[in-house]
A and B are shown apart, each in its own frame.
Chain A
Amino acid sequence: MKFHIDDLPIIFPYDRIYPEQYAYMCDLKRTLDATGHCVLEMPSGTGKTVSLLSLIVSYQQFYPNKRKLIYCSRTVPEIEKALAELKRLMDYRMTCAETEEEKAKEQNFYGLGLTSRKNLCLHPEVSKEKKGRVVDARCRDLTNSAVCEKGRQNPGSVELCDWHENLGQMEPGNLIPPGIWTLADVLQYGRDKRVCPYFLVRRMMPFVDVIIYSFHYLLDPKVAEQVSREVSKDAIVVFDEAHNIDNVCIESLSIDLTRPMLDSAARSVGRLGEKIEEIKKTDASKLQDEYAKLVEGLQEASQDEDSFMANPVLPEDLLKEAIPGNIRKAEHFVAFLKRFVEYLKTRMRVLHVVAETPLSFLQHLKDITYIERRPLRFCAERLQSLVRTLELNRLDELSALQKVAGFATLVATYEKGFLLILEPFETDNATVPNPIFHLTCLDPAIAIKPVFERFSTVVITSGTISPLDMYPKMLQFTPVVQETYSMTLTRNSFLPLVITRGSDQVAISSRFEVRNDPAVVRNFGSILVEYSKIVPDGIVAFFPSYLYMESIVAAWNDMGILNEVWKHKLIFVETPDANETSIALENYRRACDNGRGAVLLSVARGKVSEGIDFDHNYGRAVIMFGVPYQYTESRILKARLEYLRDAYRIRESEFLGFDAMRTAAQCVGRVLRGKTDWGLMVFADKRFARADKRAKLPRWINQYITETASNLSTDMALTLSKLFMRTISQNPNENQTGISLWTLEDIEKAQAKQKALALEAQQQQDQHMDDAEDEYYGDGGLDDEILREIDLDV
């Protein structure tokens, strides 16, 4: 279907469109025109990705200054889905193209996805490695520029990667024919042509129109420096599924050190020392060259593909000056590192919890070891230079040392928004010390700041980012558009229910004090049993934490509750291992397809809760057992809460509630895809009944929780569920078209209505112009205001 928003022709790859999709596209276009940032919440399963891509690609193809799209998602499945969506969109655009010229334009459109070497490697041996870090290291050994040069001059002298070599022989910028390539496609292309998919994507990045990768590739300075540095400033950046973006920001600047890591780092330092001695004897000039370079100033990163560990701090915080004299000489630097590691080791011996600011840490460090802040800041960079000079192999063995250097650089760079916490024991009751030194970033705004500053348009969107104003507050930016859309439905296709007590009227809750109470456990269990009796196909149950899930699974088994479930459905459980869980998931889907039906037990915020859809028969009911609060005893969380309160005036309880509800909504929102799909959403905890909790749910869920459905016992909920399933299974009589589905005519009607309203507003405004000229600054302001109102009405 083809329609216009203002003067922009949009090609949408379906015959109909949901009204909320249309509204979403309008707002998105407004943001792009205004070159500002926006926060958009669109109900899960209403085709957010396709609307977004459809609008942005139309925008790119229509305007001459092709703005590149950087589309970030959370997980590889989501990346692959977005790529598939894009591929289908482009296929559709091709069929819509009227002239040859247009067709050629669509054909020359590039879209690629990037993921790690581990996921893209084709080398027969390297790809067998289990750990991504090892794959990275071995790949670098075979592909870095020094080795390649040597190998090419003197074939056979060193081992090279054929796939990488073949790629090098191709014409740069034309490594792969234009089009959209999903990760699977790129892999297959690599196999067919015997070229390396990873480097292919990396080298094609400057030429593509759309690049899709995960948040980290833009937010984590360690990766972003290598991957995303050359992207131009007018690119459109989209963070899809951005409800967790603050956590990704924080993660990308936080580091943990443990004792085994320090031991390993110490060993690496020793090995570096030996290597230096060795080189001194064989090729002393190398070290002198390096020294000379360092004296002159910062060594330019030779080739970005080579850099194995970029600086962990943000680019603007890098010091653009020469490396301090006392660590310029290789042996001095090694001694320096040694001292630092020793210092950290002694700190680890403390048997009580320590929390301190970076400043106080640096002070203490200086008092004890005379290590100054300035050289510490250069630690990561200096290490990189040294490793390159020594031409070391198998960098994964150095990873602990790299972490220590990163830790040093971070701690010396940032004063505010960070905290160091030393926890000698894993839990409060543990007796054997297992110390962890956390360097934790408390402020998500730090990591995302460069993104907001550098790119003119950043779109933050998800199915669940209520309350909307929380994100601008936490991430410190000003959106030009901030919008949430409700779901237009001709009949309620999902039923949210809040179960507050079991059939025996005992209140249920995952509150810490009562969560292991047998009555609560049994009542939780009976919810699962009863629902497995009445719901067809798949049921997904989420628990607030792994610990709770594991203990409750054991308890249910011993109580014979699971035996009841086995009678009706198969049971699958999320395990610690990702691959194992994937296989369980696949079997879960087979059981749902087969009609046998299955129950999947998993964890909110866990592996399964992100990026896996439970639409249609894969999830007819989602049960949220308890409110998925974070573990409030965690010292890191406490520190973060304190910081949020002091810096942004966000109350602790407010943040915790917000965080729990967005997680719950995220889990529950996975049941729907499209408006003909249906599902039950069961919130099983008495705390969900409280209005302030529910107010934090996205509006599109909350508006369908009726007063009666907000405080139910298990048996009442079952009655309602049965009733719902009976009604939803009927053939819908009423035609959805025009209400929850729009055809082209409906869009035009809505646009005409909008225009009329806008005209009216314009006239009114003209009348008032004389009285209140100062209050309006042009036509745009009010227009937008009214447009937004209209969108909500449809």
Chain B
Amino acid sequence: MPSTVCTAKTSYKKLPGLLELTSTHLQWTQDGKKAPSVKVPHSEAASLFCSKEGAAQVRLKVALVGDDTGHNFTFTSPQPVALAEREKFKNELTNIIARNRNASATPAATAPGTPSASVRTSSVAPLGIPSPARPPVSRAASASSDSRGTPANDPTSDFRLRKKVLLSNAELAALHREMVMGGHISENEFWEGREHMILAQSAADNQKRGKPGQLVDPRPQTVDGEIKIVITPQLVHDIFEEYPVVAKAYNDNVPNKLNEAEFWKRYFQSKLFNAHRASIRSSATQHVVKDDPIFDKYLEKDDDDLEPRRLRDESVDIFIDLGATQEDHGESGNIKDVTMQAGKQRAVLPLIRKFNEHSERLLNTTLGEPATKRRRTDVAEGPGHYSQIDLEDLHDNQTSGGIVLNMQDRERYFGVRSSETSGQQPANQKLDFRSALHEAKLSLPDWSSSLGRLRLERKAGDDALNGMTQNVAARLEVKRTKHDISDNLFRQMTTCQTAANEFLRQFWLSIYPPVTDGQTLSAATPAQKAAKAGKMIDYLSRTHEKVGALVQTAQQEGVDPSRVQVAMKPVLDAVDNALEFWRRRSSKQAR
């Protein structure tokens, strides 16, 4: 039995248990069980993330080699204790991971990919150990909801998602309060038929957040009078991605020649860093920068020539090919004046190039590399080129619009008729045209006098006008009397109505269950459904009473009770309908 290094009470996937670190494994055992349900050998631990200090829950995440999702543990002891426990685990695990990394053949291959806790301690001169913040897995990856839900991992039953939906929808929340918390229907019943909202929420949560656009530009901060650059694992990751040369340097030198902290310390003092900084002021600080035999090897010449150092011969769409214009005719004319000569400020050129490259890299992370080596003609032939010069509003949509109906067995419907008519059609057409013309001619003469004889009947006109006037008057009336129902009563009416609606919904849902698409909560048996319907009918039958009470309140408040009745009538009708349906059905069943 391997010896236990440390233990702590934690929950894993919402189940309480005990987390233990032994000399060979990290393991977690659910309370009341004997065998550990999670057992990770030391050699598999790849990286480690912690929740922020001060966060509501004290969590620890261990990512495994080849599996970034890893395991999530929440320390369940009271905060201070939990923190101390986690700290202990973290220290131990950090060492283990560092050992793993060193042993691994390609240490840096994993380092840039998953910023590890082992990278976290380092900064310029006076080392301020940064808080081991729990960074997002990667900036490019989604803020995926790690499976903290129930082990079933069904989004529709995820409490968090439900809560989110309710929080973002006040009306629904009110209904939920009324129905579920009021004990009328159960939580699951409430959500039945509303799965789409949860799915939408979970989709929204799972949507990948793009990479933020900012350049990686670690700026020194003044902390306690000292100038420091605080490094987070995220920053390291970004630096490696933005400047592969730093990753290369890291690979080459850590940990053989330099240790982690020293590496970063020297990097931030090197010319290389200054070359990477997105500022042309850096040239001013050049003199304070020391020579560094290690980092200077990686230094490249400034890319500040008029032509970029890295020539790219990929051809571009000819519609935006500026080079072709430049070569279209021999150079002529006088040189441009000094303000119009591009690249006069050479110090800015590397910066500008960095912007373009950075933007391109960001694009490529989401879109992938552009189709390189396209031949000009390939692009030109495509419909894309016409669409670029097209004026779309000049097309007549009415004539071209419409989707062709694809019918099966078209012949059956049209074949006969067309074959019938095809024989006579030409003759028909001719005849039609002539006779139509003839008729039109006949009906036309004397049109002006008949137009003159046209009289509108007076009575009909007056009637129409009267009707309109009455309509307007009625509307005015409604508008005038609209707002004299007191807020309180109005709210009661609304609640009553939404509640009744919800009952109705539940009722009909149990009578006519929707086509299941595997997402419904409870695959209820017919008996359950019937029971539910009965319950709902019970509720619904009370609606009349409720409305009666409302009418009474209205009377007390001096509001015309008939208006309340009118307002509630549709609901009552619907309720009656349901009751009637239920009555008939149950009597049928009884028989």
Contact = CB atoms under 8 A, between A and B. Distances in A.
Interface of A: 14-18, 47, 49-50, 74-77, 80-81, 84-85, 88, 115-116, 118-119, 132-133, 136, 182-185, 187-188, 214, 216-217, 220, 222-223, 250-252, 254-256, 426-427, 436, 438, 440, 544-548, 550-551, 553-554, 557-558, 562-563, 566-591, 594, 596, 598, 603, 605-608, 610-613, 630-631, 633-634, 636-637, 673-676, 736, 741, 743
A631 B337 contact: yes
Interface string B254-287: 0000000000000000000000001111000000
B393 A675 contact: yes
B334 A222 contact: no
Contact of A84 (B314, B344, B386): B386
Interface string B341-355: 111110111011101
A578 B389 CA distance: 23
Contact of B326 (A216, A251, A578): A578
A608 B345 contact: no
21 contacts: A15-B396, A74-B325, A75-B322, A81-B389, A119-B328, A184-B379, A220-B332, A223-B330, A557-B278, A557-B279, A563-B214, A566-B214, A567-B214, A582-B316, A585-B320, A586-B317, A586-B320, A603-B340, A606-B340, A608-B322, A676-B392
A36 B329 CA distance: 29
Interface stretch (B123-131, B357-365, B462-470): B357-365
Interface in B356-411: 356, 359-360, 362-363, 366-367, 370, 376-377, 379-381, 385-386, 388-389, 391-396, 399
A436 B213 contact: no
A77 B320 contact: yes
B418 to A, nearest CB: 26
Contacts of A426: 338
Contact of A223 (B329, B355, B377, B392): B329
Given A15-B394, A187-B377, A590-B370, A576 B342 contact: yes
Given A185-B377, A582-B316, A575 B353 contact: yes
B356 to A, nearest CB: 5
B333 interface: yes
B395 A558 contact: no
Interface of B: 210, 212-215, 217, 278-281, 306-308, 311-312, 314, 316-330, 332-335, 337-345, 347-349, 351-353, 355-356, 359-360, 362-363, 366-367, 370, 376-377, 379-381, 385-386, 388-389, 391-396, 399
A145 to B, nearest CB: 21
Given A119-B327, A187-B377, A570-B363, 18 more contacts: A15-B399, A47-B394, A76-B318, A76-B321, A76-B325, A133-B330, A184-B376, A214-B325, A220-B332, A546-B339, A546-B343, A553-B351, A563-B217, A571-B359, A575-B308, A586-B370, A587-B370, A636-B334
Contacts of A183: 318
Contacts of A579: 311-312, 316, 322-323
Report the 5 A-B pairs with minimum CB-CB distance, sorted nearest first: A251-B333, A15-B396, A184-B380, A576-B343, A14-B394
A258 to B, nearest CB: 9
B342 A575 contact: yes
Contacts of A546: 339-344
A598 B318 contact: no
Nearest to A12: B394
A607 B363 contact: no
Which of A553, A568, A630: most chain B CB closer than 10 A?
A: A553
A575 B324 contact: no
Contact of A573 (B337, B340, B356): B356
B370 A254 contact: no
B363 A587 contact: yes
A606 B345 contact: no
Contacts of B367: 590, 594
B585 to A, nearest CB: 47
Contacts of B352: 550, 553, 573, 575
A575 to B, nearest CB: 6
Given A553-B352, A580-B312, A118 B366 contact: no
Nearest to B379: A184
A547 B363 contact: no
Contact of B279 (A80, A250, A558): A558
B376 A187 contact: yes
A742 B458 CA distance: 40
A89 to B, nearest CB: 11
Given A256-B334, A546-B339, A582 B321 contact: yes
Contacts of B332: 216, 220, 222, 251-252, 254-255
Contacts of B307: 576-577, 580
A582 B345 contact: no
A606 B316 CA distance: 19
Contacts of A594: 363, 366-367
A574 B343 CA distance: 10
B348 to A, nearest CB: 4
B329 to A, nearest CB: 4
A675 B393 CA distance: 7
Contacts of A557: 278-280, 351
Nearest to A585: B320
Contact of B362 (A47, A222, A570, A606): A570
Given A47-B394, A578-B326, A675-B393, A584 B351 contact: no
Contact of B328 (A214, A569, A591, A633): A214
A605 B340 contact: yes
